[in-house]
């Protein structure tokens, strides 16, 4: 039994390291650089972020938003970001329109031209995410996707996308996504603020 636990432990650690090492891939580096530039450009025009995901990816979406509205590494002005996570909205729309529309209605209500929709889905097959992307395009918003596995039906639907492939379950994909999110936020702060301690742009 002890050998079995040790084997599982080491395999899980190796998989976690493998997920982190994906960040070094040229495609990953390019995505993080482009995503940070797109977001910084939007903020420079006084636009905002909307972030959406299901389950653990919704938690990551909320994490993404709070790092912007609060602070990441240094004190600076708050940056506008909204995770589409309001339970009253989600239950209302789910009840009246269906779960597939919970995010698209949020985008319709809150999104404006030039805003950025960031979506996270480890399968790439979340229909409510797909509908949100379509609504964002109707409103001339920018779109960024964090995907997993093969990218699913959402692959190719967003202006920028990153696919964390090679993992059968969501956990490692989400770990890579969150690491990339933190790096992107760090780059956005560098681009927007002349000093890491600045409180105004």
What is the value of pTM for the model shown? 0.93
Structural domain of 37: 2-192
Question: According to the model, what pLDDT value does residue 99 have?
Answer: 98
Secondary structure class of 120 (helix, strand, coil)? strand
Residue 132 inside a domain? The answer is yes
**Mean pLDDT over all residues of the chain?**
95
Phi, psi of 168, rounded to the nearest 5 degrees: -80, -20
CATH code of the domain in which 76 resides: 3.40.50.10490
Residue 198 inside a domain? The answer is no
Counted domains in the chain? 1
pLDDT tens digits, residue range 124-137?
A: 999 999 999 999 99
Share of the chain above pLDDT 90, in %: 92
Residue 113 inside a domain? The answer is yes
Residue 127 inside a domain? The answer is yes
Phi, psi of 161, rounded to the nearest 5 degrees: -150, 155
Secondary structure class of 65 (helix, strand, coil)? helix
Residue 200 inside a domain? The answer is no
The count of C-alpha atoms lying within 13 angstroms of the C-alpha of 61, restricted to the half-sphere facing its C-beta, is 26
pLDDT band, residue 1 (cuts 50/70/90):
low
pLDDT tens digits, residue range 146-158?
A: 999 999 999 999 9
Residue 197 inside a domain? The answer is no
Q: DSSP assignment, residue 145?
A: E
């Amino acid at each position: 039994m002890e050998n079995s636990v040790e084997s599982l432990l080491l395999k899980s650690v190796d998989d976690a390291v493998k997920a982190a090492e994906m960040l070094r891939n040229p495609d990953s580096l390019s995505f993080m650089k482009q995503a940070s530039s797109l977001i910084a450009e939007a903020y420079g025009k006084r636009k905002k972020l909307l972030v959406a995901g299901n389950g653990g990816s919704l938690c990551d979406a909320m994490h993404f938003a709070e790092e912007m509205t609060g602070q990441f590494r240094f004190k600076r002005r708050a940056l506008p970001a909204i995770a589409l996570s309001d339970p009253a909205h989600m239950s209302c729309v789910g009840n009246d329109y269906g779960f597939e529309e919970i995010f698209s209605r949020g985008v319709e209500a809150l999104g404006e031209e030039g805003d950025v929709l960031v979506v996270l889905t480890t399968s790439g097959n979340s229909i409510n995410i797909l509908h949100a992307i379509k609504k964002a395009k109707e409103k001339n918003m920018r779109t960024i996707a964090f995907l997993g596995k093969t990218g699913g039906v959402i692959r190719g639907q967003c202006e920028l996308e990153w696919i964390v492939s090679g993992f059968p379950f969501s956990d490692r994909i989400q770990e890579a996504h969150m690491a990339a999110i933190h790096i992107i936020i760090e780059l956005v702060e560098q681009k927007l603020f002349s000093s890491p301690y600045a409180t105004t742009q």
